[in-house]
Structure 1
Amino acid sequence: MTTIGLRRFREPPSGNGPPVTLCELCAVPAGEEHGHVVNVETRGLLCACRACHLLFTRDTSGRARYRSVPRRYLHAPRFLLGTADWDEMQIPVRTAFFFRNSALDQTVAFYPSPAGATESLLPLETWERVLAANPAMADVQPDVEALLVDRRPDGGFACHLVPIDTCYELVGLVRLHWKGFDGGQEARAAIEGFFADLRGRSRTVPPVDSADAALAPVLGGDGRG
């Protein structure tokens, strides 16, 4: 998913003040804190003025070409996911995001890298098992919302339900700050700051109860979340 509007996520400021962003649907000034609209057919993410964003907020037919990206933020600090399942999803880094692609009619997985958003082959049965164990985070709107999963230093996992453009903001931060083989201190600080800000604007989802925790053995590995 690429767009001219996402340059602000991956390029440093020009030093000449904030650029004027135009709505990519009607060409009027969109404002600095504007929303985004997804082109479902091309996977393009477009900057949108308030009027255009509101226009595509509701998809009553299920076949609309454009869908507005909502502003919902949820945080599950203890996400039930096993380390073996993480490895099975072939994700070599600490963070990945998952969203339902309605054009493909399946969930896809990407992780941020110095080259941009990199797709990982997703074993659908594994992901369905993970969602079944975390029902509070399973209500993700196709195309416009994602589950952003972060592996914590203690080996457990946290999960954020976020607007899809938030994931590409993280991708842009990684591309902008990554240095050398391991990213460097600047990249690590930018990523930690990103997640700290995300936690600050998210509603926390209660931890899974004992009945859900009983599913941990079927989630590969130790099932810590």
Structure 2
Amino acid sequence: MSGDGALARLIRSSAGGNAAAAGEVCDLCAAPVPEDHRHLYDTAEAEVRCACGPCSVLFAGDGAGGGHHRLVPRRRVRLPHVDTAPLGVPVGLVFFVPRADGTVTAEGPSPAGSMRWEVDAAAWRQLAGRIPELGGMEPEVEALLINTVQGMDHHWIVPVDDCFRMLAVVRREWRGLSGGGRLWPAVEQFFAELTEQN
């Protein structure tokens, strides 16, 4: 979903670097951006792009930018346990993104990088029928993010840029075939730092 440039920037920011100090700029106008800048989702390239304040305002409304760029929201909602077994995705650290065309994709980390699956759309609709918050997600730019690895039980609706940050943390920390000793503490810290916001 994300290009190497966007993922590299998120890896740097997940390491605690200051975006402006690192020379990070708006991907639309090249203006410097602060650390807490907004992101746009490029639907044509399936990438997250950095946006300065003025550029992010241009894409704030429905249909702004012709739909090519969508402003990534900041909403985070913690959910009770969500049984995703009917979706058929065999991993415990994964995020699900509903698409504007009605399809749903799932993506999660692996030793070879991130893996992506297409989810049965009917199974997703049934799940969303039981959990109303899922039906209210914004296509392309919000995701259901889950971590059930090693006894964890995290279920969140998050902006997609949070998902890319999670992938960046995994990519930064993964060692060997199983991930190594630093990976899962870093993932748990990532989830511990998520906070609800509207």
Which TM-score applies when normalising by structure 1?
0.76
Higher relative contact order (CA 8 A, sep 6+): 1
Aligned length: 195
Kindly provide the amino acid, as one letter, of the partner of residue 164 in structure 1: V
Change in CA separation of 1:42 and 1:149 when aligned onto 2, cut-off 3 Å: same
Tell me which residue corresponds to 1:185: 181
Equivalent of residue 77 in structure 1, options 65, 80, 83: 80
Unaligned runs of 5+ in 1: 205-225
Kindly provide the amino acid, as one letter, of the partner of residue 127 in structure 2: V
User: 1:41-190 residue pairs with structure 2 within 5 A?
Assistant: 41-60=44-63, 63-79=66-82, 81=83, 83=85, 85=86, 89-91=88-90, 93-102=91-100, 104-151=101-148, 153=150, 158-190=154-186
Please tell me whether the aligned partners of residues 75 and 158 of structure 2 are also in contact (alpha carbons under 8 angstroms).
Answer: yes
Please tell me whether the aligned partners of residues 58 and 64 of structure 2 are also in contact (alpha carbons under 8 angstroms).
Answer: no
Please tell me whether the aligned partners of residues 97 and 139 of structure 2 are also in contact (alpha carbons under 8 angstroms).
Answer: yes
Identity of aligned residues (%): 31
SS at structure 1 position matched to 2:181: helix
Distance 1:62 1:31 in 2: 23
Please tell me whether the aligned partners of residues 39 and 67 of structure 1 are also in contact (alpha carbons under 8 angstroms).
Answer: yes
Please tell me whether the aligned partners of residues 20 and 32 of structure 1 are also in contact (alpha carbons under 8 angstroms).
Answer: no
Question: Cα distance, 1:172 vs. partner?
Answer: 0.8
Tell me which residue corresponds to 1:9: 10
Distance 1:55 1:30 in 2: 16
Distance 1:16 1:196 in 2: 21
Please tell me whether the aligned partners of residues 18 and 35 of structure 2 are also in contact (alpha carbons under 8 angstroms).
Answer: no
Distance 1:159 1:107 in 2: 17
Question: Cα distance, 1:14 vs. partner?
Answer: 11
Partner deviation per Cα, 1:20-60 (whole Å, 9 max, x = no partner): 11101011111222111111122121111011111101124
Question: Cα distance, 1:78 vs. partner?
Answer: 2.4
Distance 2:25 2:84 in 1: 44
Distance 2:129 2:98 in 1: 15
Question: Cα distance, 1:74 vs. partner?
Answer: 0.1
Question: Cα distance, 1:100 vs. partner?
Answer: 2.0
Kindly provide the amino acid, as one letter, of the partner of residue 26 in structure 1: C
Question: Cα distance, 1:178 vs. partner?
Answer: 0.8
Distance 1:8 1:82 in 2: 31
Please tell me whether the aligned partners of residues 78 and 158 of structure 1 are also in contact (alpha carbons under 8 angstroms).
Answer: yes
Kindly provide the amino acid, as one letter, of the partner of residue 101 in structure 1: R
Change in CA separation of 1:94 and 1:15 when aligned onto 2, cut-off 3 Å: closer
Unaligned runs of 5+ in 2: none
Q: CA RMSD in A?
A: 2.8
Tell me which residue corresponds to 1:40: 43
Question: Cα distance, 1:13 vs. partner?
Answer: 5.7
